[in-house]
A and B are shown apart, each in its own frame.
Chain A
Amino acid sequence: MDINRSTDMKYLGGLTDWGRKLNNTFNNLLYANHFQDNIVKGIGDEIMLYIPDEQLREKSSNNNHYALLEDIYAGLYLIKNHPDTDLFLNCKVAIHYCTEVYNITFFKGANDFYGSDIDLTARLMAKSVENRIVLSEKFYIKVKNDLINLHMTDKSGCLSRISEKFLENFKGVPTSTEYRVIDIQ
């Protein structure tokens, strides 16, 4: 999750105003969707979440990939459409289903994740823009499987707005990557 045009706002609008909105925005996205324990790292105006499958399944509600996507969509919708335009900053998001991930850190007490899928997630973020979710085809397939299990159509909820498949050769990624986008209404 990344704040759009954050650096511009920081210098044009002032640090205090930027900080307040940044805090509001991340709190909204994290706490309203119960993701606050899944932050891997935050660097300024960008945060990375890692939600292992077993942890997702243990959630008492919204415990599948479709629900995850739907809540992220709704979170961005609330920010974009909130009547008070002075509270939040618009965001962009990239989501990938990671299998090549390993937890390693060089700092005592810290927590970090590495792996080719983490690199790919960062590449996907470069394809996102304000009020857009970019999702890898690998994640989309997980979402579609959930919809089958939930007896829901593949145009349910925010998926009615999903794009066709795009193909991209990302720098450093040996094979082409398939992804789709959902623009927030």
Chain B
Amino acid sequence: MELIEQKTEKCVIVSITGRLDTTNYSLLEKKLTDLIENHEDKILVECSKMDYVSSSGLRILLMALKKVTMAKGKFVLCNLQDNIREIFEISGFSNIFEIYPSQEEALKVF
């Protein structure tokens, strides 16, 4: 898995490429924790190149959402592949995350 961080005027975009699994979820956990601790509370997670996720990865996203919400920030996801979207729906995540079909649309909410 590869993580790319990009700062824009509106938010920080974290792009996930590859498979988010138990061997690497701690990298995403550290990246998001560092951002939140540095008061970056407007975060967009770009998922177009994320092709696998399991509960371990979802747990990190839920933890980040809770922290950002507590800081009155915004934590948004975009560009989920179909197989990932299905897992989000089964996990009840579609109802608690703001998810947008494109980065362009997601950036409008910040």
Q: List A residues at the B interface (Cβ < 8 Å).
A: 24, 27-29, 31-34, 60-62, 66-67, 70-75, 77-78, 81-84, 87-88, 150, 157
Contact = CB atoms under 8 A, between A and B. Distances in A.
A87 B22 contact: no
B87 A62 contact: no
A17 to B, nearest CB: 15
B70 interface: no
A82 B56 contact: no
B54 A82 contact: no
Interface string B66-88: 10000000000000000000110
Contacts of B22: 61-62, 66-67, 70-71, 157
Contact of A70 (B52, B56, B90, B96): B56
Contacts of A75: 55
A34 B92 contact: no
Given A62-B21, A77-B59, A157-B22, A28 B54 contact: no
Interface residues of B, number: 20
Main secondary structure of the interface of A (DSSP, over half): helix
Nearest to B56: A74
Nearest to B24: A61
B91 interface: yes
Contacts of B96: 82-84
Contacts of B55: 29, 32-33, 71-75, 77-78
Nearest to B19: A61
Given A28-B90, A70-B56, A157-B56, 4 more contacts: A32-B87, A33-B54, A74-B55, A82-B92
A78 B62 contact: yes
Interface in B22-78: 22-23, 26, 52, 54-56, 58-59, 62, 66
A104 to B, nearest CB: 32
A13 B91 CA distance: 22
A74 B58 contact: yes
B62 A81 contact: yes
Contacts of B26: 157
20 contacts: A27-B90, A32-B55, A32-B87, A32-B91, A33-B54, A33-B55, A61-B21, A61-B22, A62-B54, A67-B23, A71-B54, A71-B56, A75-B55, A78-B55, A78-B62, A81-B62, A81-B66, A83-B96, A84-B92, A88-B92
A64 B67 CA distance: 30
Given A61-B21, A81-B62, A74 B92 contact: no
Contacts of B92: 24, 28, 82, 84, 87-88
B6 interface: no
